[in-house]
Amino acid sequence: MKISILQMHTILGQPEKNTAAFLRMAEQAMQEKPDILLLPEMWNIGFFPRPVEDYADKNGENTRALLSEFARKNQVNIVGGSIARLESSTGKIYNTCYIFDRQGQEIAAYDKVHLFSPGKENQVFEAGRNICTFTLDGRKCGVAICYDLRFGNYLSRVAEDVEILFLPAAWPKLRQKHWDILTQARAIEYQVFVAACNGGAETNDKHPLGGHSGIFDPCGGVLAKAGEGEDIISAKVDFGLLPEAREKIPVRIDKKVSL
C-alpha cells in the first residue's frame, strides 16, 4: 500500500484558495499512483479563523462532495484531514475528518475528541465521543487528530486492532520537537504504521505550523519525512512487517490490562 501525504500550507480564512491548493497538490501526488491520500487538520480554513461559524461547512456538504468526487474520479482512498463542520440540527461545530474509498463512498467520519484548550478550541468546538476505525483496501485503519496524539491511553484504544494509524494535524513549529518524538514513538508503542500529516510552515505566518509530516513503520523506522514547508511525501508500507515486529517484542500479549 502506498500513502501520499499532502503537507499543505493553509491560508487562514481562505477556503477557496485552500481548496485550489488541495486540488493542485492532490493532482501532483496522483502521479505517484498512491492508494491513499492524507490531508492535514483544518486544511480548508486554517486553525482557526474567528468567528469559526462564519467559515464552518454546513453538515460538511461542500467538503464531502469535493473529496468524494476526487476519490471517485482518481480511484484513490482519501483520509480527509479535518474541517470545521456545522451540524445544522444542533448548531454545534465539530472538528471532523471524513474518509472516502476508491469509489468515492464515505465510509467513516471522526469528530476530534481532545480539544486544544490553550488555543480555546474547546470554547468553540464540540468534542467528539467515539473512536474511529475503518477498512481501506482490506486493511484496518484508525484516525486521530492533532492534540489526540498527546493522550496515550486514548490512542491505545484506537490502535488496539488496527494496522495503520492516520494523524492529521495543525501542529505549531513552536512545539515541533514534541511532534517529531510523539509521532515516531506512537508507531513503536502500538506497533502500527503511523502516517502523520501536519500543515506546512510559511515564514510570514504569525504562528507557523511545523511541517515534518512523516510515515513510520511499526518499529519506528522512518519511511518518509517532510521538511517544514509545503511538501508531498510518499511511501509504501509493507504490512508483512507487522507480525514480525509484534512477535519479536510481544507487548500486545504481555500487556497487563487490569493495571
Helices (H), the chain: 15-29, 61-74, 152-159, 176-190, 241-248, 251-254
Closest Cα to residue 136, out of 225, 221, 75, 214? Answer: 75
Q: Which residues are catalytic?
A: 41, 112, 146
C-alpha cell at 131: 473512536
Beta strands 106-111 and 92-100, pairing class: antiparallel
Beta strands 106-111 and 133-136, pairing class: unpaired
- For residues 248 and 244, give the distance between their C-alpha atoms in angstroms, rounded to a whole number: 6
Residue 159 has phi, psi (to 5 degrees) of: -85, -5
Longest dimension (CA), the chain: 52
